[in-house]
Amino acid sequence: MVPNTYNPLCLNRIDDSLMKEIWRNCGIDVELCLECGKCSGGCPNGHVFDYTPRKIVQLVKLGDKQTLMTMDALWICLSCQACVDRCPSGIDIPAILDYMREKAWRSGAKASRPLVRLFHESVLSSIRERGRVSELDVALKYNWKAGQYVKDARLGLRMLLKGKLRLFRKGVKQREEIRQLFEKSIIAKDGP
């Protein structure tokens, strides 16, 4: 006799507390999703996501907090709003990811690939210090912390010689305002 490993999804038994939490804290009703996939089709970074924007909305509907807080997409979403622009229902997936990222940060949840979160932290550190992203600063900090000391050295030199990478990048004039934003942010307080 073969054991029954099939576990059907019973919609009347789904925990909808995450949907309600997203609605309360973000004002986003994921039940409006038509599951058309336009969000995923328009995502410029979707090819490197472990879960597409459409799947992310489905995970919220299913109440799968654990998967949402440990997925790589949480840390590599560009927040470009392309998914929102394409969505006929106007579901703001980047806002959901921002909310879930903050929850993941607070709970100490780790991404499935640890270097994904390290890259995110390196970008935030660069913005905190200069008010904008400095590619050289991000690459150096990321590779140093990842133990890949000379990983991109050859590529970096080629980019530098072609004028695609600057040794010194000016910061923005309103650095103090940006630092204040980081002070208000829960991620920044506990971050790099």
The 3-class SS string of 94-115 reads HHHHHHHHHHHHHHCCCCCCHH
pLDDT at 82 over 80: yes
Q: Per residue in 137-186, pLDDT tens?
A: 888 888 888 888 777 788 878 888 888 777 776 767 787 887 777 777 65
| DSSP H helical ranges for the chain | 17-26, 38-42, 53-62, 65-70, 73-76, 82-86, 93-107, 114-130, 135-145, 153-161, 175-184, 186-190
Q: Residue 69 is encoded by which pair of tokens?
A: 């807080």
Q: State residue 52 phi and psi, 5-degree precision.
A: -70, 165
Residue scoring higher pLDDT (188 or 125): 125
Cβ burial 58-80 (10 Å sphere, 16+ → b, else e): ebbbbbbbeebbebbbbbbbeee
- Provide the 10 A C-beta neighbour count for residue 105: 22
User: Which of 36, 35, 27, 101 lies closest to 65 in space, CA to CA?
Assistant: 101
Name the least confident of 5-19, 98-112, 127-141: 5-19
Name the least confident of 6-10, 51-55, 85-89, 159-163: 6-10
Q: Cα dist. 96→23, 43, 93, 143, 178 in Å?
A: 10, 15, 5, 29, 22
Residues 6+ apart with CB under 8 A from 121: 191, 192
- Mean pLDDT, the chain, rounded, equals 83
Largest CA distance in the chain: 72
- pLDDT, position 140: 82
Q: How confident is the model at residue 9 (pLDDT cuts 50, 70, 90)?
A: low
Whether the model clears a pTM of 0.75, i.e. scores above it, the answer is no
Residues 6+ apart with CB under 8 A from 150: 143
